[in-house]
Amino acid sequence: MTVSASLPLLAGQGLPQFEAITPEQVQQGIPALLDALNSELTALETKLEQRLAEATPLAWDELMDPLHHLGERLRWSWGVVSHLNGVCNTPELRTAHQQQQGAVVQFGNRAGQSRPIYRALEALQQNAANLDGTQRRILEAELRDMRLRGVGLEGAEQEAFNAASARQAELATTFSNHVLDATNGWSLTLTSETDLAGLPASLRELLAQAARDAGESGWRLGLDMPRVVPFLKYSQRRDLREQVYRAQVSRASTGELDNHPLIEQILQLKLEQAQRLGYANWAEVSLASKMAGSVAEVEALLDDLRAAAYPAAQQELEALAACAARHGADEAAALKPWDVSYWAEVLRQESFDLDSEALRPWFSLEQVLQGLFGLCQRLFDIRIVAADGEAPIWHSDVRYFRVLDGASGQALAGFYLDPYSRPGSKRGGAWMDECLGRSRTHAGEAVLPVAYLICNQSPPVGDTPSLMTFDEVETLFHEFGHGLQHMLTTVERPQAAGINNVEWDAVELPSQFMENWCYDRATLMGMARHWQTGEPLPESDYQKLLAARTFMGGSATLRQVHFALTDLRLHSQWTPACGQSPEQLRRDLARTTTVLEPIPEDAFLCAFSHIFAGGYSAGYYSYKWAEVLSADAFSAFEEVGLEQEEEIVATGRRFRDTVLSLGGSLPPAEVFEAFRGRQPSSEALIRHSGLVAA
């Protein structure tokens, strides 16, 4: 045994000994691990080349098993480093993470672009008749991903492809730097109390702090979301709202930071890359690895949503104008984009003043967990039991739970819950991640899946337990949905177990599905008890939560449709020779996908980082696609009647046996159909969004 093999960081199996893993180990262990993996990869490549030369059929366990074990060893060790970097960051750990990250990415690129492995995968596919359906699907995904990285190209074509990929990465970085610089480069300092009319105390304090940080007195506005969003919502000064709005929508559209030329270059490069790979356009490349089968299928879905949302959005705008008129506002006759958030907030307060802070006492973490676990027991026949002290942890806040099958009592999985925010050492937001995946050891022993569930809610203070907002409750249910798919998988092949090998536009199905239960009367009223008095949530508050869910639902849906269609058309129809600029294409679409025409300086595309600098190009539609699936899945429970216990239980078991069990072993459309008995329909999402004409 070498020195490094005894490091807890390189154990490579079982639950990590979190507290024994130090930044020094990362600096020492990761290079040692990568050295070992690189030699093993070289050895595997050599062996595969020999095997290919022999021209006898290649077996799965000669290629896929060693490949998986290489990847899994890196995932296990680097997964722990990334996890600790997210949940108990220190300057030393951050440095170690940063210093090793490049080499880790490099190893992934080397394996992902290896010609011998690619040729071996092709050889394996020629004998696919010997493989089962899951194996074939794993193999196809592996080959597809390698082809999309250009591995199948030869000579000059491959060089051109790689050069264009590098150029794309540069352009994406420049694009997002422009957005960042344009956002940070604008400010407006307010100097008198009258400029602050309508602003809540928290926003005033934020603006005052920004002014102090800049060495100014007064209140400093900027274009970052935490300042712009509440300002447009609360400011009674229409002139200031207009000024801020105009600055916000024209970011990165002029001068040195102008993103217009970059947009055309990025789109053209993507089109050329798609053609090199044998596709007609970039949208086809994106859809090659997704559940959606074609551009036409996505367009049809977006058009269903558009048709339902457009009239609703028009009515919502009229309701805002009527509200402004009741208040005698000048703008009532012609609302402008900078008036919408403001009057929506006024109308919301008048219709149902939901104070999210005031609901916290009804949602103590303990009560919410009991509600969530009880729901899972009822629907999926699993029992969740606390197992604190049975697993190593990384912080005293962290709890560990075991998941047992309800009928047999057999252990199925485990999960960590790290619920509270720790400013300074824990990343914000909430997420589910894989600690261990379901698999078998060399000796054939079953390895049970273990999930990380990370939230960021307020910790308990004194005798007061952690009290959650309703948003935080929804977030916990959401992440737990991802966790359930990871933990309840029955797939034996690790490459397709849990969330592995699930198409990107289908992976939010279980998570968003779970969110729906937060609005189910029995579930919500069962868990919402005042932590001191035990009183249930007042009916009027329940009604407010329901109303808040659909308030301005038409406008919100239409906005997402506008973004998604713009993204899709730019990547499927736009070419440099089409006679239209990307901006003109977007404005054409705006005629049917916005109810307030974009103002002349609105250059939304110049800040659309999701598609020009992130991974969402020709994939923005996925948000709505997954919502259709999750709403439609929930509607199976509505159809049998949410009060019909026997039917609910049977439907819940079916959900567990299909969506939660089958993971990436089957195409997602087949998994969905196995649960729902038919293909997905947008009806439920349209209804849940409040877009059905009364």
Rule CB under 5 A: which residues touch Zn ion?
A: 511
What sign has the CA pseudo-torsion 137, 138, 143, 147? positive
CB-side neighbour CA atoms (13 Å) of 684: 21
Sequence-distant (6+) residues with CB within 8 A of 368 are 468, 473, 476, 527
Nearer to Zn ion, 279 or 504 (CB): 504
Cα(540)–Cα(528) distance, rounded to whole angstroms? 13
Nearer to Zn ion, 139 or 628 (CB): 628
Sequence-distant (6+) residues with CB within 8 A of 278 are none
Q: CB of 478: closest distance to Zn ion in angstroms?
A: 6
Q: CB of 432: closest distance to Zn ion in angstroms?
A: 7
Nearer to Zn ion, 489 or 511 (CB): 511
Nearer to Zn ion, 223 or 514 (CB): 514
Nearer to Zn ion, 281 or 485 (CB): 485
Closest residue to Zn ion: CB criterion:
511
Pairing status of strand 411-420 against strand 450-457? parallel
Q: CB of 509: closest distance to Zn ion in angstroms?
A: 10
Minimal CA–CA distance to 567: which of 609, 626, 625, 505? 609
Nearer to Zn ion, 313 or 476 (CB): 476
Q: CB of 626: closest distance to Zn ion in angstroms?
A: 9
Composition of the chain by helix, strand, coil, percent to 5: 65, 5, 30
Strand, coil or helix: what is 402?
Answer: strand
Minimal CA–CA distance to 116: which of 61, 44, 55? 44
Minimal CA–CA distance to 28: which of 5, 44, 50? 5
Q: CB of 482: closest distance to Zn ion in angstroms?
A: 6
Instruction: Out of 474, 479, 515, 627, pick the active-site residue.
Output: 479
CB-side neighbour CA atoms (13 Å) of 56: 5
State yes or no: is 479 an active-site residue. Answer: yes
Cβ atoms within 10 Å, residue 374: 14
Q: CB of 512: closest distance to Zn ion in angstroms?
A: 7
Nearer to Zn ion, 259 or 630 (CB): 630
What sign has the CA pseudo-torsion 466, 468, 473, 479? negative
**Beta strands per DSSP E along 135-249:** 188-190, 219-221
Cα(277)–Cα(354) distance, rounded to whole angstroms? 52
AA identity, residue 503: E
Q: CB of 481: closest distance to Zn ion in angstroms?
A: 8
Which residues are designated catalytic? 479
